[in-house]
């Protein structure tokens, strides 16, 4: 059989060019990722005419102002597309400033040999320009600290670092839904506003309209003061007078028309009196009852808070639909300024019916491995940026976690290991049975002792929440924490206490009122089921993946004491 002959040069070129990059479905542009993300770096699509849009990272005029180079980025990938514009196409001065947005049309070309770019865009037409005044633009092209960028939270996504974190965050969110949907979990939206404190810590943001209502009332009473006692008495006298007039007319057998008119006047007088009496009751300030705030007058007719966790609510669906998860924002009114605390952060919280603590640990381990592998498979370019600029070990850490069997040890064994280590190294926090492990302890176990992720289980019940299953020793609960290098605790979970009397006693032991948890106790009264679950702090996962040091830099709009921008 004769060997197949190679296609002529013209045919090869045609085949290459037919592998066209397509415009985005809902905007008139080609995403830069679809050009530069190709295995050949975009060289194979040279010759195609495209429209692209993005923001200028750097720009410079060349050839005595005859043309300009622009490094253009549209957020679809970390790489910039080099764009060349002649002065005959558009005024160059307004295009080269950092931060300028341009929408252009041109032809992709292979640049001269010796340049690092595999492809560049020669612009034929400028479609639109969002100009920038360089004297006022707050983000110069010099290297900026993450702390500085927190003062420009609305502009910081334009920086390489924040845009890379945003893509990594998006990938982890997508991976989260992919993992749980793949394993038959149902996504449940739990409420932001709740009446129960899941953690029992009391660090909750209260939701109330009483203050707003009091302020409105105060302004209203200044503008339109309440009636005096004399006004009310005068209105009562008028009602009496009008009532007597009606009686007299009826006694005198007056005409129906006269009586109706008199009754109408009486009705009007009564309505006026009622309004005056209601206004006379109005008092500035928050309503009180028995010396305490009267929450029956509040919007929800009781105290309400922003949720610290969706766990309790999602348990209701686990006790009916088996495998469920929630993924949403949670809130803590903890006045902390550390690099690990936010007032608003996101939690991933699966709940599994017919599952014990071992099943819970298996699910948590599989989920974390899945997230790590997902980033390696789908976000490697952004992870390489993180390695280059922030944490040289970030990719190796992902690979290690994705491929490791997590070490599993009891809390008691973990404390014994730490006590032994304390003989040779100084921990800031004393190690003894009964403490809640500090970050330094968790990182010692993962980074020094085992050099792998560690799951610690069976914690003392005195340091854990009321809903965790009490073990047979009556000293520990079936709780587990997944510890990873860099951040320490990434996941906290437990087998839930399904026994009615036991969990009721635990609520009372914690000093919590039973009434707000009656619905939760119903899950134990009616068709109780063994179930388990955990919560992953989403921002902590991003810290672990990227190597970024401060949690305020891995959430789009950080909220912490003193700051709630936008």
Query: What tens digit of pLDDT does each residue of 169-225 get?
Result: 999 999 999 999 999 999 999 999 998 776 655 689 999 999 888 788 788 878 888
Q: Average pLDDT for residues 452-456, to the nearest whole number?
A: 97
Domain 9-142's class? mainly beta
> pLDDT tens, 79-112?
999 999 999 999 999 999 999 999 999 999 999 8
pLDDT for 16 beyond 70? no
> pLDDT tens, 265-274?
999 999 999 9
Every domain range in the chain assigned CATH 2.40.50.140 = 9-142
Please check whether residue 70 is in contact with residue 85, taking contact to mean a CB–CB distance below 8 angstroms: yes
Per-residue pLDDT, 271: 93
Every domain range in the chain assigned CATH 3.30.930.10 = 162-207+303-553
The DSSP line for 177-208 is HHHHHHTTPEE----SEESS-SSS-----EE-
Per-residue pLDDT, 536: 98
> pLDDT tens, 456-498?
999 999 999 999 999 999 999 999 999 999 999 999 999 999 9
Query: Hey, which bits of 259-302 come out as E strands?
Result: 288-289, 292-293
CATH architecture entry for 162-207+303-553: 2-Layer Sandwich (3.30)
Residue 9: which pLDDT band, with cuts at 50, 70 and 90? very low
Per-residue pLDDT, 11: 35
Distance from chain centroid for Cα 291:
39
Taking CA atoms, 214 is separated from 282, 285, 294, 295, 409, in Å, by 10, 5, 13, 13, 55
pLDDT for 17 beyond 50? no
Q: Is the pTM of this model over 0.85?
A: yes
Per-residue pLDDT, 504: 96
Please check whether residue 492 is in contact with residue 501, taking contact to mean a CB–CB distance below 8 angstroms: no
pLDDT for 358 beyond 70? yes
């Amino acid at each position: 059989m004769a060997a197949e002959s190679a296609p002529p040069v013209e045919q090869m070129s045609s085949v290459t060019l037919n592998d066209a990059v397509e415009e985005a479905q809902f905007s008139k542009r080609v995403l830069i990722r679809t050009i530069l993300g190709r295995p050949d770096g975009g060289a194979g699509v040279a010759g195609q005419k495209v429209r692209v849009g993005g923001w200028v990272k750097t720009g410079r005029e060349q050839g005595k102002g005859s043309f300009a180079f622009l490094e253009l980025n549209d957020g679809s990938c970390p790489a910039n597309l080099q764009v060349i514009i002649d002065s005959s196409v558009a005024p160059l001065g307004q295009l080269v400033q950092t931060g300028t947005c341009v929408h252009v049309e041109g032809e992709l070309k292979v640049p001269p040999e010796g340049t690092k770019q595999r492809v560049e865009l020669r612009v034929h037409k400028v479609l639109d320009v969002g100009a920038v005044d360089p004297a006022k633009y707050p983000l110069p092209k010099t290297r900026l600290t993450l702390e500085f960028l927190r003062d420009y939270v609305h502009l910081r996504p334009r920086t390489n670092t924040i845009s890379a974190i945003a893509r990594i965050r998006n990938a982890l969110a997508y991976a989260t839904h992919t993992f749980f949907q793949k394993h038959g979990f149902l996504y449940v939206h739990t409420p932001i506003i709740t009446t129960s404190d899941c953690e029992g810590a009391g660090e909750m943001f209260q939701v109330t309209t009483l203050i707003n209502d009091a302020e409105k009332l105060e302004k209203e009473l200044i503008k339109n003061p309440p009636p005096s006692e004399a006004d009310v008495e005068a209105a009562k006298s008028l009602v009496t007078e009008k009532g007597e007039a009606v009686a007299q007319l009826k006694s005198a057998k007056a005409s129906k028309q006269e009586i109706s008119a008199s009754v109408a006047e009486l009705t009007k007088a009564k309505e006026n009196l009622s309004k005056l009496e209601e206004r006379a009751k109005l008092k500035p300030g928050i309503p009180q009852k028995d010396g305490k705030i009267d929450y029956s007058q509040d919007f929800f007719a009781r105290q309400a808070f922003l949720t610290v966790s969706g766990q309790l609510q999602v348990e209701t669906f686990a006790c009916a639909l088996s495998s469920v998860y929630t993924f949403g924002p949670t809130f803590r009114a903890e006045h902390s300024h550390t690099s690990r605390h936010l007032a608003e952060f996101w939690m991933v919280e699966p709940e599994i019916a017919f599952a014990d603590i071992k099943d819970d640990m298996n699910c948590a381990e599989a989920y974390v491995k899945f997230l790590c592998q997902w980033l390696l498979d789908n976000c490697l370019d952004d992870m390489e940026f993180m390695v280059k600029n922030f944490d040289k070990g970030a990719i190796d850490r992902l690979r290690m976690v994705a491929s490791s069997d997590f070490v599993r040890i009891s809390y008691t064994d973990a404390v014994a290991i730490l006590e032994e280590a304390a003989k040779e190294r100084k921990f800031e926090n004393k190690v003894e049975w009964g403490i809640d492990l500090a970050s330094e302890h968790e990182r010692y176990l993962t980074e020094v002792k085992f050099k792998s992720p560690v799951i610690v289980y069976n914690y003392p019940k005195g340091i854990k929440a009321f809903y965790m299953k009490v073990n047979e020793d009556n000293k520990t609960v079936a709780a587990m924490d997944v510890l990873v290098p860099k951040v320490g605790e990434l996941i906290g979970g437990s087998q839930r206490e399904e026994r009615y009397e036991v969990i009721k006693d635990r609520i009372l032991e914690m000093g919590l009122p039973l009434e707000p948890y009656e619905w939760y106790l119903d899950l134990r009264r009616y068709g109780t089921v063994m179930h388990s679950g955990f919560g992953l702090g989403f921002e902590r996962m991003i810290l672990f993946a990227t190597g970024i040091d401060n949690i305020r830099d891995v959430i789009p709009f950080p909220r912490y004491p003193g700051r709630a921008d936008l």
